[in-house]
Amino acid sequence: MALSQKLQEIIESQKDVVKKVAELITEGIEELKQKATEEKKTFEEVVEEIVKAVMDVQKTNLKKEEKRMAMPLLGDKFPELSVQTTHGPLSLPEDLVGKWTVLFSHPADFTPVCTTEFVSFQKHKSEFDKLNTRLIGLSIDQVFSHIKWVEWIKEKLDVEIEFPIIAATDTIASQIGMIHPNKGTNTVRAVFIIDPDAVIRTILYYPQEIGRNIPEIIRAVKALQKSDAEKVATPANWPENELLGDKVIIPPATDCETAKKRPQEYQCYDWWFCYKESK
């Protein structure tokens, strides 16, 4: 086998690269000496070029893999995924555009805490609908398990789950940050709030042993929509803040002239802490 072909196999395998390169150089030493003579280089220069070429390719491949497996962050577009759900296939983020989305993962079907969460999400679904917000569940259970679990919830608890549930693979769940190795191989209780442009606006994580507070997720959606519509911020516990009630906060001034005007334009504790009635 030609030296170049062997090198290519090493690059593609990405396994024990350094060891394999060393073995290849040892096995092909005569070929490398001939190559050095033909190219009028020292043997060391030829070996150095080979090692550098292999390492450069390895670094490039590692960067590509890191980028592919990187967890999405706030402000990122939701990753491109093709998934199967209990309502049929979805192409993400394409199918998310135009509405707000709450995409949430659960550790496993047929588990008590997850069941209470799904019942609660369904019972609050009308509130999400009013906010132009779709619900999508996810775990690494197969779609057949999702279907049977939904049937069980309907039969035993008289609640019909009307939103889709994604049957994710380990790779998909890892790619979007829903598997945390120190918490096992199941998906943790992750929540992504995604805006109509398919941009991730909020990420929440809960451990497997603690069920989520669905009203808080609704509150977060409302606060994001309020912030976008009025270009304001919302205080803690909004709309029931201890200082401001349901009022909203004006973004702090960024120049001296604006800072001087703020107390005349709004209610303020100081120029950097001004607020107004919400529309």
Question: Is the CB of residue 143 less than 8 Å from the CB of residue 149?
Answer: no
Sign of dihedral through CA atoms 173, 188, 84, 110?
positive
pLDDT in tens, 48-103: 777 777 776 666 655 544 444 457 889 999 999 999 999 999 999 999 999 999 99
Q: The tokens 């030829």 sit on which residue? A: 46
Tell me the average pLDDT across 250-260: 94
Q: What is the pTM of this model?
A: 0.74
CATH fold for the domain made of 81-211: Glutaredoxin (3.40.30)
The C-alpha angle with vertex 159 and arms to 156 and 163, in degrees rounded to 5, equals 130
169-223 tens-digit pLDDT? 877 877 887 777 766 667 778 999 999 999 999 999 998 889 999 999 999 999 9
Residue type at 236 in one-letter notation:
A
| Residues 238, 248 contacting (CB under 8 angstroms) | yes
Length of the chain: 279
**pLDDT at position 229 over 60:** yes
> Above 60 in pLDDT, residue 14?
no
User: What mean pLDDT comes out for the span 96-121?
Assistant: 96
Active site residue 114: yes
- Domains 81-211 and 231-276 equal at CATH topology level: no
Q: CATH fold of 231-276, please?
A: Antioxidant, Horf6; Chain A, domain 2 (3.30.1020)
Sign of the Cα torsion 242, 245, 246, 251 reads: negative
Given strand 273-276, what is the order of strands in its sheet? Answer: 248-250, 273-276, 267-270
**Residue ranges per structural domain of the chain:** 3-69, 81-211, 231-276
Specify the higher pLDDT residue, 234 or 208.
Answer: 234
Q: Tell the residue number behind the tokens 């893999």, with chain if given.
A: 65
Q: 114, 256, 268, 274: which one is catalytic?
A: 114
